[in-house]
Amino acid sequence: MEKLKDFVAVGFSKNRPLQCDLTLKTLFLQCKEPVGVNIVYKCDKEYENSYNTLIGEHPEVNFVKQGSFKDDLVSLLGSNKHVLFFVDDCIFTHSFYPSIHVGQLEKYQTILGVSLRLGRNTSYCYPVDKEQKFPTDCFRLSEEQILFNWMKSELDFAYPLELSSSIYRAKDILQLISPFNFGNPNDLEAILSGMLTYCLVRPHLVCYDTSRAFCSPMNKVQSVALSNRAGNAHTYSPQNLLILYEKWGCRLNPASWDGFVSNGCHQEVEFV
């Protein structure tokens, strides 16, 4: 089967070979159509061997060692019409067909994006440690999918531009980021979040009744957004997971997450 035309999946990774391996395996398990998958990665010296191993174990993925982050991203978006963003602590849990969402974005110009991380089950906003309500300004788009107004929503439901597991028009993203310089995913997402006033003509998001993915913030690998909430257990520190991945050859089983229902877009979980 040919890869979906004009569609690209772009992931971001730093110092998380074990978690990135799980992300890729669950993506290929749940994405029911072949798509071009790319990872823009950056790693400290002690992680280089493990990333070489990761690259060798995933020949179907195009790994791009980060140079100029903005240039790398713009090059990958290229002439593609749609993009799925994801990060290396994302776990895909339920099946989805990208072509369905491409059709929705082409048919309904008021849709800004399709969120795979939101659903009726995501009643808890992990970053601010608060309960959140499912949007009331919504209607059913299909048997499994709901269209809602992100401008009249709260917390995660009011955060429409994000990089963890959402699908957008590539041209929308390029237009928003073109005036700015940025060197990492955190800065990129901050820029996108700051550009929401330019997205008022697209007040809608699409999500599933049950979310298709979530992020497992078990550790922190960046020093840009230090206030971002994450787990701090030594067991799941990047250094300890590196030992498990490189020295002991450990891998996380993607099948164990098939059908998992998270309580939010982010949820700390136990790795087995």
Instruction: Identify the pLDDT of residue 272.
Output: 77
Task: Answer whether residue 2 is part of any domain.
Answer: no
Instruction: Identify the pLDDT of residue 147.
Output: 98
Lowest mean pLDDT among 148-162, 209-223, 237-251: 209-223
Task: Answer whether residue 35 is part of any domain.
Answer: yes
Task: Answer whether residue 268 is part of any domain.
Answer: no
Q: Which domain holds residue 162?
A: 7-257
Instruction: Identify the pLDDT of residue 222.
Output: 57
CA gap 161, 139 in Å, rounded: 21
Task: Answer whether residue 265 is part of any domain.
Answer: no
Q: 225 pLDDT exceeds 60?
A: no
How many domains does the chain divide into? 1
Give residue for tokens 């569609």: 7
Percentage of the chain beyond pLDDT 90 is 90
Confidence of residue 226 (pLDDT cuts 50, 70, 90): very low
Interval 104-114 mean pLDDT: 98
Task: Answer whether residue 100 is part of any domain.
Answer: yes
Provide the CATH number for the domain around residue 182: 3.90.550.10
Instruction: Identify the pLDDT of residue 210.
Output: 98
Q: 42 pLDDT exceeds 90?
A: yes
Instruction: Identify the pLDDT of residue 228.
Output: 60
Instruction: Identify the pLDDT of residue 87.
Output: 98
Amino acid letter for position 117: R
What is the pTM for the complete model shown? 0.95
Task: Answer whether residue 131 is part of any domain.
Answer: yes
Instruction: Identify the pLDDT of residue 219.
Output: 76
